[in-house]
Structure 1
Amino acid sequence: MTYQETIGYLYERLPVFQNIGARAFKPGLHTTRELCKSLGDPQDKYPTIHIAGTNGKGSTSHMLAAILQESGYRVGLYTSPHLKDFRERIRVNGTCIPEEFIIKFVDGQKSNIDNLSPSFFEVTVAMAFAYFEKAHVDIAVIEVGMGGRLDSTNIITPELSVITNISFDHMQFLGDTLGKIAGEKAGIIKKGIPVVVSEHQNEEIGDVITAAAEAANAPLTFASDIFDVSFVGSSGGKMLVDVEDKASETIVAKDLASDLTGAYQLKNIIGVWAAKDVLISKGWKISEDSVKRALGSVRSITGLKGRWQQLRQSPDVYCDTAHNTAGLTLTLAQFDAVCKGKKRFVVGFVGDKDISTMLSLFPKDAAYYFCEPSNMRALKAQELQLRASEHGLVGKTFGNVNEALEEAIRESAPSDAIYVGGSTFVVADIESL
């Protein structure tokens, strides 16, 4: 098979969550373990870092991978979903997995696919683990797909576990309280393995994670109890921050530049900073200069896209993959702060999410261009228009995000600003991304 035929086979043969949602959700580790066992358990052949969370786990994964790469290590990076190309999910030192490896891997796994009936995600995880072994990585950064306890990636025993922000998302799978969701995320905590939690959010979440860490005798760090990261300005298209050690009230990093300029990255940087210190304590050679270089160039080092990314100026167009209430609250506040003229929103959602709370976050005095992602789970633009009207949001409908964005740009004055988002899959469809 060719590469395109191979990818087509995976999508057609296996249940894909991003396409069909709940019907593709397959909790449990047995199938992934069996797949990896047949490959010689490649995930045990190199050190790993495991990252879970509701929001921020992708950015955190990319930042840590960039830091390790700039420190001279050969770094594997597994994330999901992809935006443009399946190969984005699996990278070594920022370079996507070769098409040839994917073709050979899938061809060699067809009997396992027939016998084990794995999900798309389970096959992808096994593929990543196998490729990282073949590529002789020094360490691999592994992002959880959903939850943690029953996620396919949770067959690893990492050097370090990281848990980022926890909020309401995927409640039909992870639970209807923050405590239950935190319990699923805390499922990545392993016996004796240090765990860093980016944000000490509240007692409900903190107690659950603390109990899980104590049960596993895992050293626990709440990064936000130790460090504070504050925005101090912008320069050359990058966000400048200070990192303060709370105990000594001293600045440990001044005017640190980040090319990930979303306001929510402040929380992620706190977790990354603490994680970096834990890695150093475990013997990983990470210098101050390598951290500065890495955080200032995450996009170019790892290929990260779609996180508060500016696509053009006059009018300014921003896109972001925020797709739940907590994420949208932060990005919409930042959009409000940067917009000098009329606000315009190009938005779309998937159909199996409760979007009522998210729609209530959007301002009524703005122009709306409702669209739908090119995804089997897409909420139809006309249905979105109807539901948005219940929240006082008025606008036109379009068949796809690019038509909607073109119209928004045509109708904009130079001082206006356009926000594109609502779903990861809407951002993925942007041609200019």
Structure 2
Amino acid sequence: MTYPETLEYLYIQMPEYQRVGHLAYKPGLGNSLRLDAVFNHPHQHYKTIHIGGTNGKGSTSHLLAAILQQSGYKVGLYTSPHLVDFRERIRVNGEMVPKKYVVDFVKKYRERFEPVMPSFFELTMEMAFLYFEEQEVDVAVVEVGLGGRLDSTNIISPDLCVITNIGFDHMQYLGNTLPEIAAEKAGIIKPHTPVVIGESDDEEVKKVFTVKAESENAPIIFAEAVLNDFSAHRADDEWII
């Protein structure tokens, strides 16, 4: 199987996948958990940071991965969707997963994962988790695909959660009001796991996150509380913070 043939298999031949339409969204974690068990839960072998939200979660994921890499860590990065190349979704220290790995993953494991009938997103996510384990990353930054509570990525037990600003998106799946959407995004908050919340002027949205964090005994930090004590200016070709 060539690389183009492998992509064709991933895009079209997986039984539960459509590029657009209602079948592209497959809510629930049951299938993701079954698929993860097939691969013996690879994400449990390294630290993870889970990033959700509406606006800026992709940029935040890339920025955080770059900061960690510059700090000396080996960093996996899983994002979606890709813009040009499928391999943009899966990176280690900024380098995209090799084409050969994508091909070999499908060839080697298809008899194991096909009975689970994974969606495109579930399968590419598990490919990323396994690749990160094999690459022995120190930490993986994992971006939520859609929503949070029922997103496939929500099977991980992260060391940190980040939820960026909340806006109106995918309302047919997540709700018609900002608090309803925030409740779905808040689903990634885990017990005793710190969570950083993006700036928000909506007190009802803040309340949703606060209540969820309290129910999980999760330390919560609102970005604006930190930004109020933060300033930066340029002087003599240097940034002063």
1:335-346 equivalent positions in 2, closer than 5 A? none
Query: How far, CA to CA, are the matches of 1:42 and 1:177 in structure 2?
Result: 36
For 2:10, the equivalent position in structure 1 comes to 10
Report the TM-score, using the length of structure 2 for normalisation: 0.93
* Contact residue 164 and residue 199 of structure 1 kept, 8 A: yes
Contact 1:51 1:162 in 2 (8 A): yes
Residues 342-361 of structure 1 mapped to structure 2, 5 A cutoff: none
Does the CA-based 8 Å contact 1:35-1:112 persist in structure 2? no
For the Cα contact (< 8 Å) 1:51–1:142, is it kept in 2? yes
Per-residue CA deviations over 1:176-233 (Å, capped at 9, x if unaligned) read 11111000100000000000001133111111111000000000000112214xxxxx
- Aligned pairs for 1:212-227 within 5 A: 212-227=212-227
- Counterparts of residues 18-417 of structure 1 (less than 5 Å): 19-228=19-228, 245=229, 251=231, 253-255=232-234
Contact 1:65 1:75 in 2 (8 A): yes
Q: 2:38 touches 2:113 (CA, 8 Å); kept in 1?
A: no
What is the percent sequence identity of the aligned residues?
Answer: 57
CA-CA distance at 1:31 after TM superposition: 1.3
**Offset, 1:20:** 1.9
**What SS does structure 2 have at the residue aligned with 1:109?**
helix
For residue 21 of structure 2, what is the amino acid of its counterpart?
G
Structure 2 residue identity aligned to 1:199: E
Distance between the aligned counterparts of 1:64 and 1:16, measured in 2? 30
Structure 1: gaps spanning 5 or more residues: 229-244, 257-291, 293-433
Which amino acid is the alignment partner of residue 88 of structure 2? E
Q: Structure 1 CA distance, aligned partners of 2:184 and 2:112?
A: 28
Task: Give CA-to-partner distance per residue, 1:386-408, whole Å, 9 cap, x none.
Answer: xxxxxxxxxxxxxxxxxxxxxxx
Instruction: Give, in whole Å, the separation in 1 of the partners of 2:6 and 2:117.
Output: 17
AA partner of residue 159 (structure 1): D
Please list the CA deviations of residues 145-170 of structure 1 after superposition, one character each: whole Å capped at 9, or x if unmatched: 00000000001111100000111110
Q: Secondary structure at the match of 2:225?
A: helix
Distance 1:69 1:13 in 2: 36
Amino acid at match of 2:134: K
> Which one has a bigger Cα radius of gyration?
1
Amino acid at match of 2:166: I
Paired residues of 1:77 and 1:90 also in contact (CA < 8 A) = yes
Separation in 1 of the partners of 2:43 and 2:220?
24
**Contact 2:49-2:158 within 8 A present in 1 as well:** yes
Distance 1:178 1:207 in 2: 11
- Tell me if structure 1 keeps the 8 A contact 2:166–2:200: no
TM-fit CA distance, 1:108 = 2.8
Deviation at 1:16, TM superposition (A): 4.1
Q: Secondary structure at the match of 2:63?
A: helix
Once the 2 structures are TM-superposed, how far is the Cα of residue 112 of structure 1 from its aligned partner? 4.0
How many residue pairs match? The answer is 235
Structure 2 unaligned residues grouped into runs of 5+: none
Aligned partner of 1:238 in structure 2 is none
Structure of higher RCO (CA pairs closer than 8 Å, 6+ residues apart): 2
Name the SS of the counterpart of 1:48 in structure 2: strand
- SS in structure 2 at match of 1:190: coil
1:113 CA displacement: 4.1
Letter in 1 for 2:220: L
Residues 200 and 225, structure 1, Cα contact 8 Å, conserved in 2: no
Partner Cα distance (2:27, 2:197) in 1: 24
C-alpha displacement of 1:64: 0.3
Distance in structure 2 (CA, Å) of the matches to 1:66 and 1:138: 13
1:49–1:255 distance in 2 versus 1, CA, 3 Å: farther
Q: Cα–Cα, structure 1 residues 116 and 220, in superposed 2: closer, same or farther, change >3 Å?
A: same
